[in-house]
Structures are given as structure tokens and as C-alpha cells.
Chains A and B, each alone.
Chain A
Amino acid sequence: MLHRTAAIGPWFAQSMDDIEPCLSSPMSDAPTIGVIANPVSARDIRRVVANAGNLQTSDRVNIVLRVLGAAAACGVARALMMPDRGGIRALLDRTLRRELGQAHHDAYPALHYLDMHAASTVEDTYTATRMMADAGVVAIVVLGGDGTHRAVVRELLRCGAQIPIAGLSTGTNNAFPEMREPTITGIAVGLYASGRLPPGQALAAHKLIEVAIATDGRVQRDIAIVDAVITSDRYIGARALWKPESLLAAYLAFADPQCIGLSAIGGLLEPVGRLQPGGLAIEMAADAAHALLELHAPIAPGMVRPVPIAHWQRMVADEPLLVAHAAGTVALDGERELGFEPGDRVTATLRENAFFTVDVARCMHLAACDGLLRTPVGAGLPRGLTR
């Protein structure tokens, strides 16, 4: 059975040894992966206010095909996919019909779409994640930006399902999902899903920021996998953030100086690695008189802006930090999500070992060193589960 933590209580495992891949699931001889490809990432206002790019639907489909083809070559026999009405499914179906009609019947896993209504909102991602967890997938490949990855992780945590994700960046910001060739991600996911690389070797544990807003005794919780930013905007609107003057504070799970977006503010002040303990909390200054310095940060694609900084400090896991601002909106991974008012108590807490990804770089290194992709001449790679 799929191993699950309780849905209440800590959202995170103590260690990767707590993860049991679905080796004993009903489909254990046909390792199954999930694929969630967001058709609407990289479509927001940053195309106009910044030089954010656009990833064509056909490119998203190509990414899915590359992942599936490589995963099939490494033993994945079955894939469950989130259906969409943004054109990915339609193009994917057309392409697979054409390619499978020609030859190479086993070039791809058997692809099944989840039996769900596609509402074309983030609810699709939540529903798909839940259904994939119920179906016992061993990993979920995610195509999207930070927001899509966050939605998948959020639902996995809500369900208590410890399924690792493998992220591919097709969003605007992409601080969380690394830029990576999808074929390589497919190989890594395939080697893990087929059991040729155990969790202790194949997976990486990640941090997140847990935000809690307490109002009259009720507590609303949510998470960010990169950054939770407090803004003075007090409505959701077009969701994206691009005005430095609206930024009040930022709480970062990691701070990579090579990322753009709001986490770049931290990355260029004091880098904190993705897998390194600790996070970063930053207070922006209200004006020049209160600023310690100005940081010129790439807060959106092609946009380097001065951000006045009052101070910053490292975050320690499980120690809540109280948000000092009376009212505003909490943006989670770059999108305005939660409003709060005077009288609300807002805290940000770093959690470590909160969720897992397939560590593609490590998997490929091990694949090379352990000869996982070597076979006798003409033998072919193993299909199905390798115990």
C-alpha cells in the first residue's frame, strides 16, 4: 500500500527512510508514474510588464513525449496523466497516434488520462495529484512553474502521500524546477520508478515555508516551496508580483543567486542552498531612510530593480517568525494568494525534509558509475520492475 503519513500533524517525514515506494502496490510489476502538465503556466501579466517568455503548447507536448519515451526505455510501463483543455492532451494524442501507428509500440508507456473533469483552474492540479496518489504512482513528473509545483506538493502534503516529484520548468519564474533536459529527467524517473535506484540514493529532501494566518481562533495554513512574500497589495487581482515598492518582507526556503524572481533578493544577499539546512527571512525597508542598503535584484524576467533592504536573518527549521506587518497579502511562490487584516496573526515557519524530488543529477551520476544503462550487446534494458 502507498505509505502515508497522517494528514494532520507534521507534514514532513523524519527521513527518506520513511518513504516506501509503491513496490507492493497492485501495479507493482508495471511501475506507474504520474504526469501533470500545466497548459496555462507562463501566461500572466509578466508577458507585458516584464520580458517573460512564452512556452508554446507544442513545446510542452514535446517535453512530455521526451520524458515518457525516456522513462519507458528505463522500465516505466504505465503513465497517468492529468487531462487538460489547454491543448496539451489534444496534441499529445495526435502525436502518439501517429508515432505508435508507425512502429515502436513500446516506445512509450501505456498512457491513461485520469477520469476527471478539467476545469482549467488550479483545482485540476489538486484533483490530479490526489487521484495519482490514490492510484499508487511512484513519482509525479510536473511541468510548470513554481506555482504548479507548489500546488502538487501542497496536495501531496494534504493527502499525506510521500510521492517524490520530478520538476520541469515551463513557467515564468522557475526558481524551483531546474532547467533540465526532459529526456534526462525521464531516465532518472524511470530508474527510480523501476526500482533500480532506491529512495535513499535517488531522492532529495526539500524545505518549504509554512504560512499560518490566525484569525479569531481559526488558523489558515498554506505552504510555499520557494518563497512566501508579504506585499502591501491587499487584493489578489492579476496575482503576479512585479512592483518592488509593494514588497514588505520575504521568507525563503532557499536562496539561489542564479534564480530570478523574489527569491533572487535573498540569493544575492546570502545564498542558502536548496538542500542546505536553514532558510532566509528578509525585511524590506519602507523607504531610503530605513534602508541598510539597496539590492538590485532580477525580480522578474529581464527586470533588475532596486529593492531597499532593512535587514535579513537566517531561518531555523520549526521556529515560527511573526510577520510584523498589520495588513497585506501573502504571495506564495510569486502569486498573491492569502489576504490578512489587522488583528490577524501571521507566522512563517521553515520546515525541512518536507517533501521529496527525484534528484536527477545524482541519479544520472549513479547510473553512469554503477553501469545501470549498460547491457550486453543486443540485450536491451530491463522492462518493468527490477527488485
Chain B
Amino acid sequence: MAGNPFPLNKQQLLQAYRTMRTIREFEERLHVDFSRGDIPGFVHLYAGEEAAGTGIMMHLGDGDRIASTHRGHGHCIAKGVDPMAMMKEIYGRKGGSCEGKGGSMHIADLSKGMMGANGILGAGAPLVCGAALAAKYRKKGEVAISFVGDGASNQGTFLESLNLAAVWNLPAIFVVENNGYAESTSRDYGVAVDSYVDRAAGFGLPGVTVDGTDFFAVYEAAGEIIKRAREGGGPSLLECKMVRFHGHFEGDAQTYRASGEIDDIRSNKDCLKKFAAAVTAAGVVTADELKAIDHEVLGLIERAVVDAKAAPLPTLADLTTDVYVKY
């Protein structure tokens, strides 16, 4: 084997794997614990989509901002939000990212540039225009990235944001995580033209489509798009074609899926398996090194759950803190 063929060094490859594995195990654990009734509220799991969030976020620093969706755990972890605090938040406990008052769909950490998961479809895009405008004024080469799904890409907020970002030449990037389903509605029914590149072109910004289950394809495309934005080249759209392993929400019976579809995507479109196969086949990383990470991550998730269950609930007094009005 003649050296490392990838555009990342070994340490970065291991970090990418660790991030994706952390997201995967975090989500799979929530899947199990939710079915036991341990978790309040709704959760929407990112399992299967790890390569997109990770491949993009590896190009970002804390000064770059992102706005996420209802399916935000993966974006949070990839952006560097503490999984321990995230788990407490999902369990609604003090010490969570939002002191247990926001839950799964509102996890945020501004110190990491994570402006929040968001329960309102398409709501992140205008926020990102604001963050990108601020970045443009600060002149430090920072960018802001909006994640939307294929369903939310039909929202007016998203389309208006594409236009504004293009008109003002903002360092904004719009990532359409196209997993083929808006809740239970296939894109065949809900999207007249299944090409977000066409939509971007209609608004005067370039668009690119990549295989969102291929970490390296996402990493390479995102790298060029982010570099362009940092250098004043303006906004772009990146469509990641991907798959989600679980339902829209936990508890979703998924009757809209074809028979065998989930088994097929878990076998053939698992981004973690593809990544592991590529880096071990190239001889840059060993299977044992990856297994060691798997073991550490499982330990981290277990600690996160134990800590979350042990953490206190918010009190009535906490109801009137962290709000704009002083009571």
C-alpha cells in the first residue's frame, strides 16, 4: 500500500469515523429507549445520514454557524455540541444544552455556532441569511449553513432565502438533505421537479448534487463550496441524496416504505460501512482501530444516558429564566 490516498490525514479520518459512529450510536440508543417510554416528547433520528452532516461540518469552525432541522442530533454532534448535554436535553433535564427546557427539536449551542435544531420546517434558512450577513460584515471569512429536508425545500422561507442570499451575495450554503420522504410523502408526490440544482439555478446560485451516503463525495464537494463562500464567491446549494434508517419520528409505522426497503438501505447504503471499507481497504486505518472507537463511543453513550436519567428535572422557578422578559 503506497500511503494515504484520501484528502484527510489519518487523525482526521479517525475523527470523521468517531463523529459518524457517535451519531449512529446516539440515535440507535434513542430508538431503543424511546420504545421503552423513557423519553419525553418526539425524536426524529438521523441514523443513516451521518456522512452528510459529518462531511460538511469537518470544514467548519466554531465561528461558522449552522441552523438545523427537527432531525438535528446529527448536526449537533458533528458541529461539536456535547453529547452528554444533548442527552440531558432530550430527557428534559437540567444541565442539558437548553437546561432541559427545549427538548430534542431545540438543542442549540451558540458557542459552537449551532443556532439550533428547529421544529418549524424551513425556519433555519432565513436565520442563516442573517448569520451570513453578520459573517460578511465581520470579514473573517466565516460562513453560515442551512440544513433543510426535501419536504421543507418547498417552503417559502427556503425559496425566499435562496433569493436573498443570491441578491446580497451572502456566504450562505443551503444543504438539502434529500432522503426521499417528507414525513410519509415521497418526493415523487411532493416535488414537481426533483432537482434542487434546477431550483438553485432559478435563483441565480450554483447547485451541486452528491451521493450523501459517500463521506468522501460530500467532503470534497462541501470543501469547494465552503471555500468559495469564504472567499466571497457567494451562496451555493448542495443536495445530498441520502437515506434515513428510521421513521420520520419514533413511533412511525412507516407503511409508506416498500417491502424490504429498510433492509436494503441498511445493507447497501450504510455510510459507515462504506467509509470503514474504504479506509481499511486503503490500509490507512485498521479494523481494530475502528473497533476501538466503536467501543469508546458505546461507553460514551451509556454514560450519557445514565447521567441524563440521574440529572434533576427543571423546577417551576426555571420556567421564568432564559426568557426575554424579566419576571
Contact = CB atoms under 8 A, between A and B. Distances in A.
Contacts, number: 97
Contact of B2 (A91, A238, A342): A342
Interface stretch (A47-55, A147-155, A372-380): A47-55
B253 interface: no
Contacts of A43: 195, 197, 207-209, 239
Interface in B51-76: none
A234 to B, nearest CB: 3
A237 to B, nearest CB: 4
B186 to A, nearest CB: 9
Contact of B220 (A42, A47, A58, A237): A237
Nearest to A343: B2
Interface residues of B, number: 36
Nearest to A118: B188
Given A57-B193, A235-B6, A326-B2, A48 B278 contact: no
B147 interface: no
Q: Is the interface of B mostly helix, strand, loop or mixed?
A: mixed
A45 B208 contact: yes
Interface string A44-81: 11011100001011100000000000000000000000
Contact of B1 (A47, A238, A341): A341
B207 A47 contact: yes
Interface string B92-115: 000000000000000000000000
B102 to A, nearest CB: 35
A339 B207 contact: no
Contacts of A237: 7, 216-217, 219-220
Contacts of A10: none
A161 interface: no
A4 interface: no
B327 to A, nearest CB: 49
Interface stretch (B122-130, B156-164, B221-229): B221-229
B312 interface: no
Contacts of B198: 54, 56-57
Given A45-B220, A91-B193, A235-B5, 9 more contacts: A44-B221, A49-B224, A54-B198, A57-B193, A87-B194, A90-B193, A234-B5, A235-B7, A237-B220
Nearest to A51: B206
Contacts of B206: 47-48, 54
Interface string A293-333: 00000000000000000000000000000000011000000
A26 to B, nearest CB: 33
